[in-house]
Every structure is written in C-alpha cells, then in structure tokens.
Chains A and B, each alone.
Chain A
Amino acid sequence: DAGITQSPRHKVTETGTPVTLRCHQTENHRYMYWYRQDPGHGLRLIHYSYGVKDTDKGEVSDGYSVSRSKTEDFLLTLESATSSQTSVYFCATTGTENTGELFFGEGSRLTVL
C-alpha cells in the first residue's frame, strides 16, 4: 500500500452545504487524483494534481474544486453539495514516472440528502 488515507470515510450531508474530503499520502508521490465511482459509470476523474499548487480538471469537474498546498495532502471540495454528488470518492496517487499504476485510498462514501 502507498500509505493513502482518506477522511472522512463516511459522510451524510444536506443539499447546499459545503463538503471537503481529504486525501493524505506518505509516499511523496507527485501525482494525486480524485475519482468518483458510481454504478454503471465505473471510475470518473474529477480533478488531478501534478505537484504542489498544480492542479487540473478531469472529465467530471463541475461542482468540485481542489487544492494542494503540500505534497502529501490533496483536498476535494464540494462548494454546495447536490444530490447528484452522492457517490463514493476515491483518491489515488502515482509517482513521478506516471506509468498509470495507481495506488488507491479506501474511499469516502458521501450521501447528499
């Protein structure tokens, strides 16, 4: 394992509230990713980071923002949560080689009522 921890692991919130999910890694990996997993859609990339303060959008970035102020932490923020953002969120990392071999966190299950 690449020493990836996500918090919180479970969260229930109401529509319109802000939510922040945290991903912390201890491997000094350069690349970090946020995916969401939904039945029938597989994993879809939300945002990714290729270094401190270097981030970019994935395929489903609307309604999400990210920040990476330290190598080890990658935060995903839902500014105003909607029911369509109910999902399981996975953080993943990979090293400088960026081969595509990802190491995943345990996931954060978010329910927006």
Chain B
Amino acid sequence: AQSVSQHNHHVILSEAASLELGCNYSYGGTVNLFWYVQYPGQHLQLLLKYFSGDPLVKGIKGFEAEFIKSKFSFNLRKPSVQWSDTAEYFCAVKAASTGANSKLTFGKGITLSVRP
C-alpha cells in the first residue's frame, strides 16, 4: 500500500514570498500524483495532477509541481503567494492501475497562512 508524507504542518508566509511545500510518497510502482486545496470552509478541489510525461506540471492559480521519481517526491511551488492562497494543501498518491482496489491516499495536509 502507498503512503504520503507531508513535512510541514503549518507554513506562514508574507504576500509575494515564494512557496514550496514538500511531498514524498512510498510506493514501488507507477503512480498518479495530485495536489488538492481546501480553502477555509470549503470542500477539497483539485489544484494539479501528474499522470505521465513532463514531470513539471502546471495547475490553477499559478501553482506548479515537479515529480522527481528518484526522490519519490512531488513538491508544490508558487513563485509569489497571495493572501487568497491561504488554505490547506493535500498531497495525494494513487497507484496508476485502474482497478477498484486502487485508491487515493492523502497526506495529512499542510496549512498555509499568508499574511497581507
């Protein structure tokens, strides 16, 4: 079974600072990787995803993530955060197989607080 590790629980930044949130996973096979975001009081929504191809993927709102297979990592980045990026961010991994037993596993989440 796969697992996901997110290294920081709470990150506090000032507006315009750069952001990098770490995510490592453990699984020996091919994976699909995701970052989900949960704005205060809302449900989770997809920020970006990686299935195959270019390991640098771009998502909504200026976010990007890089898949480094050798490091089992999928770190999230944004060059300049805004106050509206304040949210909780979840990394998630799923084995690339499509069988019913192939399920998404979430990390514990990182709370990002951006000071205006």
- In angstroms, Cα B108 to Cα A41, docked, is 5
* B108 close to A42 (CB less than 8 A): yes
A14, CB-defined interface residue at 8 Å: no
Least Cβ distance of A3 to chain B in Å? 13
B51, CB-defined interface residue at 8 Å: yes
Residues of chain B contacted by A33 (CB below 8 angstroms): 103
- In angstroms, Cα B53 to Cα A105, docked, is 30
* A100 close to B107 (CB less than 8 A): no
Residues of chain B contacted by A92 (CB below 8 angstroms): 44
Least Cβ distance of B89 to chain A in Å? 11
Once A and B bind, how many residue pairs between them come within 8 Å at the CB atom? 58
Q: Measuring CB to CB, which residues of chain A are less than 8 angstroms from any residue of chain B?
A: 31, 33, 40-45, 48, 50, 54, 56, 58, 90, 92, 97-102, 104-107
* A102 close to B108 (CB less than 8 A): no
Which A-chain residue is minimally distant from B100 (CB atoms)? A50
Which A-chain residue is minimally distant from B90 (CB atoms)? A42
- Besides A31-B100, A40-B108, A43-B90, 7 other A-B contacts (C-beta < 8 A): A42-B109, A45-B103, A56-B100, A101-B46, A102-B104, A104-B44, A106-B42
Rank and list the top 5 A-B pairs by shortest CB-CB distance, nearest first.
Answer: A100-B94, A50-B100, A42-B108, A104-B43, A43-B106
Contact of B49 (CB < 8 Å), options: A31, A50, A101, A106: A101
* A101 close to B108 (CB less than 8 A): no
- In angstroms, Cα B32 to Cα A40, docked, is 24
* A48 close to B103 (CB less than 8 A): yes
* A100 close to B92 (CB less than 8 A): yes
Most chain A C-beta atoms within 10 Å of own C-beta, residue among B9, B90, B109: B109
Most chain B C-beta atoms within 10 Å of own C-beta, residue among A50, A54, A99: A99
* B106 close to A42 (CB less than 8 A): yes
Residues of chain A contacted by B34 (CB below 8 angstroms): 100-101
